[in-house]
Structure 1
Amino acid sequence: MLRFRGATLLPVLKEAQSNKCQVILVKDEGVYFMSQIGEKDHTGRHKLLCYADGCNPETESFGDWWELSRQECGGDDFGEFFDLSVNIFQHLLKGGNDLFVIVTDSEIRLHIEASVPHSH
């Protein structure tokens, strides 16, 4: 099961909402959500990406993010499109929730849980 933090997912969802487009769950170099249409950096990559915990190539070692991505999503790269009108995304747009994703051979399941504040 992959966890996408609400605090970093919300800007991606809002970008998709403002551009009236879908969001895409991508598995290639890591696993992340992005807006179908969005602002890009000087290299042509989308600026706003929400990586799953442990699957960010910018913060995790190659072996760690690659193995977790393979275990949770299989070996093939993919992009799965989701419409923001789906109830779960409408709930997430209100903020404060994390999204959990389970990828199987036949489906992608999404569910939400409230974010737990970090204690110091």
Structure 2
Amino acid sequence: MSLRFKGADLRPVLAEAVANRCHVILVKDQGVYFLAEHGERRPEDGRVKLLAYAVGCNPDVDPFDDWWELARVELGGDDFGEHLDPTSSVFARILNSEDDLELSATATHLSFKPVPPAPDGH
């Protein structure tokens, strides 16, 4: 199985990380998402402004039991943050195309690949 990140959501996060010359971080805690390591913060609450959630793993729109179980099945039970290079070839492809990003994981590896956008937008 795998998780999908919509390219339209991910491109602004990747662009911010490239512009700020910082890592992009894949996070699993309250959902599964990418953010720029040195991203802009919202003045009202200090939270990072740009987040790209995996489809089905956004606690703001997906029911808790659904996103929590999907995240657990795909990425295990522990929370983590993985620092990645936003200039890597897979992220460059996402930045310069209309593709989405597919994430698959084993107990020891994360794999990313560009995939055509889902026809239904999900």
The one-letter amino acid paired with 1:76 is: D
| 1:86 counterpart residue number | 88
Distance 2:27 2:6 in 1: 16
1:109 maps to which of 99, 111, 117: 111
The answer to whether the Cα contact below 8 Å between 2:34 and 2:52 also exists between their aligned partners in 1 is yes
The one-letter amino acid paired with 2:36 is: S
| 1:50 counterpart residue number | 52
What SS does the aligned partner of 2:83 have? Answer: strand
| 1:2 counterpart residue number | 3
Distance 2:120 2:71 in 1: 25
| 1:40 counterpart residue number | 41
Structure 2 unaligned regions, length at least 5? none
Structure 1 moving runs of 4+ over 2 Å: 116-119
| 2:97 counterpart residue number | 95
TM norm structure 2: 0.92
Distance 2:62 2:51 in 1: 15
CA drift of 1:117 comes to 4.7
What SS does the aligned partner of 1:115 have? Answer: coil
RMSD: 1.3
Q: Percent identity?
A: 49
1:70-102 Cα deviation digits (max 9, x unpaired): 111100000001112211111111131100001
Distance 1:29 1:112 in 2: 24
CA drift of 1:54 comes to 0.3
The answer to whether the Cα contact below 8 Å between 2:31 and 2:57 also exists between their aligned partners in 1 is yes
TM norm structure 1: 0.94
